[in-house]
Amino acid sequence: MFKLLFLKIFLLASGVVSMTSETKQAPWNQFRGPNGSGVAVFARPPIEIGMNHTAWNVPLPAGQSSPILWNDTIFLTGLESERLVTVALARKSGRILWKKRVPEVPLVKVHAANSVAASTPCVDEKSLYVYFGSYGLLCYDHNGQERWNRPIPTPRSTYGMSTSPILYRDLLILVLDDSANLQGSRLSRSKVIALNKSNGKLVWETPRPFNRDGWSTPMIWKHTYGTDLAVLGQGRVYGYDPKTGEEKWYVSGFSRETIAVPVEGNGRLHVSSSMLGGRGDEKLDPEPFWSAVLQFDRNGNNQIERTEISEHFTIPFRPELPPGHPGFGYPLPKDPDQRRKRQLGFFERNDKNKDGVWSKDEFLASMSNSRTKPNLAAIRPGGEGDITDTHVFWNVRRGIPEIPSPVFHKNRLYFVRDGGMLSCVNAEIGEMVYQERIGATGQYSASPVIANDYVYLVSSRGVITVVKSGDDFSITHQEDLNVKVFATPAIDENTLYIRTVRGLMAFR
């Protein structure tokens, strides 16, 4: 009798231990948390978020890297007094534990909407791994002591680097997409590398010669047939063997400029990119773009003459922004001569009859000539080579964000694009469940994150919106933080961390 009772108690205790280990929150140890998913499965952060609900709010060096977490420490990067820095803070109080400067290097030029400290670190039980486009990789222990460093030539990039490193077993993996050509070739210098995380030595390197500059972070896709390293780049998403770097498959049909992180769900890989310039819908309403162009029409004749090319004249990408804003249109060089040459090139390509005038018809014709479409694709595993026609399960072509990544939760995909348009897609069949405006307009750079069945959305202006997950659209809470936010939030068991342009805020 005693033995039987003891056995029951032992089995019950074992069950409790097993349940505890299964429900332990995975650490938010890289960009967008566990494997880049954006989901904190067992977390319970607050639903009401606002300046009056902060646990703490600390100023920090400027930067756009997202916070990451390990045990009682938060890590991120920044720029202070023209020096790149890595910063560690205490999770409970926000107190700065240590700050380490990167060896002094020239800071690479980046787009006005980007930062030289945009790449998010990753961390494991022993080390912190940091990438700066201007320098390369550095490895610290949790107390800030440098373990190794590996300077890396800065890839040429239109907007500056923002891809983040990830970990796989004993490897540190980094994508280095580059718009520069290999010497004497039309192929690019792009590549993906894997280093031994303990000493920084190169384990493998795989060229990506058909890719130019890109801004997506890779992820590890575990599926029925094995494990792939999924890397989104110019026009394609690739699958590599993460142990060797061997290319296994690719899917075409994505934009030339890709940013979002692929996400796994129901055994499939979900990959998204807007059209060049941020267009999220296959069917374009051209009128706002033409209205944006007419801001350069000084004589009011409803067309653009060659003599009306001014300092900020460019092809509009985001008509809701004013001319001169860094996100308004196609980027222009700062050098006046190069700038003028670029502007004349825009004009001449659209002036089809060469009469020195852009008519509305000429401009609208140019807007419809894009060879790519906005694309959210669901990809089945197990293919080899070009699997575009064989393994793409479905495509969605409206509401696709330019910068934010989608997030998968309970067989639904959620994604938010500029203007505050939130979409929910049934991931099983690729059908739109709803598409609703959340009442927080403007640009979106931060990706959605999910915890406790709530979707947390933060606009670049700093408006945070909390939406209940599920098929019925319902805003639970919304508040304006009155400070700009470009970084993706981080989550632990009971706290939401939001990096603003001023510092880091904790809502607990």
User: pLDDT at position 368, please?
Assistant: 62
φ/ψ bin of 358: left (φ > 0), alpha (ψ from -120 to 50), beta (otherwise): beta
Hunting for tokens 């502007």 — which residue is that?
343
Rounded to the nearest 5°, which phi and psi values hold at 172?
A: -110, 120
| Strand partners of residue 146 | 140
User: pLDDT at position 275, please?
Assistant: 87
Q: Which of 31, 15, 11 is nearest to 23 (CA)?
A: 15
Cα 506 from Cα 500, distance rounded (Å):
11
Confidence grade of residue 361 (pLDDT, cut at 50, 70, 90): confident
Cα 137 from Cα 46, distance rounded (Å):
35
Q: For the chain, what are the domain ranges?
A: 34-281+371-507, 287-367
Residue range 248-304, pLDDT digits in tens: 999 999 999 999 999 999 999 999 999 877 878 877 677 888 888 899 999 999 999
Confidence grade of residue 5 (pLDDT, cut at 50, 70, 90): very low
User: pLDDT at position 6, please?
Assistant: 42
Sheet holding 503-507, edge to edge: 54-59, 503-507, 496-499, 490-491
pTM of the predicted model as reported, rounded to 2 decimal places: 0.86
User: pLDDT at position 10, please?
Assistant: 41
287-367 in CATH: which number?
1.10.238
Confidence grade of residue 472 (pLDDT, cut at 50, 70, 90): very high
Q: Are 407 and 449 in contact (CB under 8 A)?
A: yes
Cα 479 from Cα 48, distance rounded (Å):
8
Residue range 82-104, pLDDT digits in tens: 999 999 999 999 999 999 999 99
Q: Are 52 and 106 in contact (CB under 8 A)?
A: no
Ranges 90-94, 353-357, 481-485: which has the least confidence: 353-357
Confidence grade of residue 372 (pLDDT, cut at 50, 70, 90): confident
Residue range 389-442, pLDDT digits in tens: 999 999 999 999 999 999 999 999 999 999 999 999 999 999 999 999 999 999
The mean predicted confidence, pLDDT, of the chain is 91
Cα 134 from Cα 152, distance rounded (Å):
8
Amino acid at the residue 223: H
Q: Are 89 and 506 in contact (CB under 8 A)?
A: no
> In terms of pLDDT, which residue wins out, 7 or 458?
458
> In terms of pLDDT, which residue wins out, 362 or 15?
362
At a CB cut-off of 8 Å and minimum separation 6, what does 500 contact?
462, 481, 483, 484, 485
Is residue 371's pLDDT more than 80? no
Per CATH, the homologous superfamily of domain 34-281+371-507 is YVTN repeat-like/Quinoprotein amine dehydrogenase (2.130.10.10)
Supply the DSSP string of 13-27, one letter for each residue.
HHHHHHHHHHTSPPP
| Residue 24: CB atoms within 10 Å | 11
User: pLDDT at position 12, please?
Assistant: 40
Q: Which of 278, 391, 364 is nearest to 326 (CA)?
A: 278
Is residue 33's pLDDT more than 70? yes
Sheet holding 127-132, edge to edge: 122-123, 127-132, 136-141, 146-151
Is residue 326's pLDDT more than 60? yes
Supply the DSSP string of 84-126, one letter for each residue.
EEEEEEETTT--EEEEEEPPP-PPPP--TTS-TT-SPPEE-SS
User: pLDDT at position 352, please?
Assistant: 86
Structure tokens at 257: 């400029």
User: pLDDT at position 196, please?
Assistant: 98
What proportions of the chain, in percent to the nearest 5, are helix, strand and coil? 10, 35, 50
At a CB cut-off of 8 Å and minimum separation 6, what does 109 contact?
160
Q: In a 10 Å sphere around its CB, with 0-12 CB exposed, 13-18 middle and 19+ buried, how is residue 114 labelled? A: buried
Percent residues over pLDDT 90 in the chain: 74
Cα 280 from Cα 418, distance rounded (Å):
9
Instruction: Looking at mean pLDDT, say which of 49-63, 138-152, 322-336 comes out highest.
Output: 138-152
Hunting for tokens 């080899």 — which residue is that?
384
Is residue 35's pLDDT more than 50? yes
User: pLDDT at position 328, please?
Assistant: 86
